[in-house]
Amino acid sequence: MRISQLFSQTLREAPADAQTPGHQFLIRAGYIRQMAAGIYTMMPLAKRTITKIENILRQEMNRIGGQELSMPVTLPADIWKETGRWYQIGAEMARFKDRNDRDMVLAMTHEEAVADLVRREIRSYKQFPKLIYHIQTKFRDDPRPRAGLIRVREFTMKDSYSLDRDWEGLEKQYRAHYQAYFNIFRRCGLDVIAVKSDTGMMGGKIAHEFMFLNPIGEDTLLLCNNCGFSANRQVASFRKPEAVSMEVKPLEKVHTPLTKTIDDLAKFLNIKPSQTAKAVFMTATLQKDDIDVQEVVMAVVRGDMELNETKLSNLIKAKEIRPATEEEIKSIGAVPGYASPIGITRGLIVVDDLIPTSANLVAGANEADYHYLNVNFGRDYQSTFVADITAAREGDGCPECGHPLTASRGVEVGNIFQLGTRYSDAMGCTYQDENDAPQPVIMGSYGIGVGRLLACIAEQHNDEYGLILPVTIAPYQVHLVVLQSKKSDQPGKVADQLYQDLQRARIEVLYDDRKESAGVKFNDADLIGIPMRITVAEKALNEGKVELKYRGAKEKTLVPVDEIIPTVMEQLLLLDRTIAQTVVQETFKI
């Protein structure tokens, strides 16, 4: 492609709302253009890169037995109502009615569509195992799109679905995806780790996320450098303090003026925060008999701990959850700042599993400026649930080896779920076993966001001048630059011939044939980030040579014109081989 004909242009400055280096360079280099909040056009350069990423996805999916199909993005709401997700998912699902007043959905994922196919196509145990996938547009009306392609509303996803007759088959396909995903990310030049994650709206038994570690990430990950434990903070467990044997003391009410916070209370009473019980109030949307019901939830955790809203939400099976207002807190008889479960008969009370083993805590008296000393679970109050609802933090003990955990930020670029029979049961997906008895199909779901993957590659592979894209996914392999001479037309003629020769050798080349200065052309080449640059200039041509340079390297090499094609082919092979060597067998961490 000649740059003079390319439907794109580079920008000297990035838009003010471009928040990260990768986002800025993708815009400045002409890869993407924003249409609306969270909605982008993939320009020709990005489209070529996206196609290469999709082909890598296809190769790895096909390698583990995948069959590609294409499912519609517009789906009837009836199948979402069957699984209950029509009622469980909030405003991020795009709903509309067709001309016949039927409820419709713009798909954000395709579990329901696959389950509908399965109940039509699968009849016998002899049809297993199966793996199907597609690369499809999705829409999720995210309220906070950010960082370019990192968080968008319309996106392309590779989602695959495994179908098995038993859990052993699912486990095998799950592990195959685990390895395939590492292969995909490494072939794209992206460093990731796999962490345990929340199953969320997908449901199911087990889930893992593949995380690109970067400060721009919205997810906090807890990692153990000793044993390799890794988990998203949403689900991470940790070693809680051992129970201390203590004689249970009588309940005592004390005056504690102006102590609405745990820190103020601990300072006033000269105690540690760990000797207090903290009440955190949330309002949950719960589904009861297909009707959404708002309920105030009092979550009780030790004063030195933090509530994990995801754990709480999963425990009570909330559709949505948010902090409660003061009015909502008062509606169940609690007093904001001085609240506890003592004497509360309304709302839902949930207690962290550390509370029953912590004796004689200080808790609110549900009266302004008063607290109770020596509050004990079981004697002074009860709860609907007792479970782990606290958030792991850096420095907490690893749940597996006890070593202090470290925290890191990450961007999710892929996820895998063991769905089990979540959708099969809801939609009647069964098969006949050897005894002609109906059995539920065991399903798995596996996704990779293609645009987000490109965005993360851009975040990892750049310098102060622009992108430095891996050869496997760069839009072109070679950036050919001609520096025009006022004295001779030789550089133009040699470059034109070299452009033809590179194409005949099936080397993908972007040819900067514009009548621009050397500075403009070199700056654009650095910005676009193609792996190798060939420069045709009069000075080197006088010696019968052209200049070869790797993007990101300072060194330049002069190569005879008649040797440049085989030299480039050899260097491309080396670049491919270097990336291929990163694809290794991974140890599966359940």
- Using DSSP, state whether 90 is helix, strand or coil: coil
pLDDT of the chain along its 590 residues, tens only?
999 999 999 999 888 888 899 999 999 999 999 999 999 999 999 999 999 999 999 999 999 999 999 999 999 999 999 998 898 888 899 999 999 999 999 999 999 999 999 999 999 999 999 999 999 999 999 888 888 999 999 999 999 999 999 999 999 999 999 999 999 999 999 999 999 887 765 556 788 999 999 998 888 999 999 998 998 998 899 999 887 788 999 999 999 999 999 999 999 999 999 999 999 999 999 888 778 899 999 999 999 999 999 999 989 988 889 999 999 999 999 999 999 999 999 999 999 999 999 999 999 999 999 999 999 999 999 999 999 999 999 999 999 899 999 999 999 999 999 999 999 999 999 999 999 999 999 999 999 999 999 999 999 999 999 999 999 999 999 999 999 887 788 899 999 999 999 999 999 999 999 999 999 999 999 999 999 999 999 999 999 999 999 999 999 999 999 999 999 999 999 999 999 999 999 888 76
Strand order in the sheet with 252-255: 252-255, 370-375, 361-367
Rounded Cα distance between 178 and 31, Å, is 30
What pLDDT is stored for residue 204 in this prediction?
62
Domains of the chain: 17-235+407-459 (3.30.930.10), 252-387 (3.90.960.10), 476-580 (3.40.50.800)
Closest CA to 396 of 308, 269, 316, 300: 308
DSSP 43-103: -HHHHHHHHHHHHHHHHHHHHTT-EE----SEEEHHHHHHHTHHHHS-TTSEEEE-TT--E
Q: Within 10 Å of residue 488's Cβ, how many Cβ atoms?
A: 12
Q: Within 10 Å of residue 120's Cβ, how many Cβ atoms?
A: 9
Rounded Cα distance between 367 and 370, Å, is 6
Q: What one-character DSSP code corresponds to residue 324?
A: P
Rounded Cα distance between 314 and 200, Å, is 8
Specify the residue for token string 């004697």.
379
* Identity of the amino acid at 492: G
What pLDDT is stored for residue 200 in this prediction?
64
What pLDDT is stored for residue 146 in this prediction?
86
* Identity of the amino acid at 482: V
What pLDDT is stored for residue 590 in this prediction?
64
Is residue 70 within 8 Å of 157, Cβ to Cβ? no
Neighbouring residues of 366: CB distance < 8 A, sequence distance ≥ 6: 333, 334, 335, 338, 339, 340, 342, 343, 344
Rounded Cα distance between 505 and 572, Å, is 12
pTM confidence score = 0.87
Residue 358 main-chain phi, psi, to 5 deg = -110, 110
Determine the angle formed by the axes of helices 564-580 and 167-187, rounding to 10 degrees: 140
Rounded Cα distance between 145 and 93, Å, is 15
Rounded Cα distance between 232 and 396, Å, is 14
User: Could you report how far apart the first and last alpha carbons of the chain are, in Å?
Assistant: 47
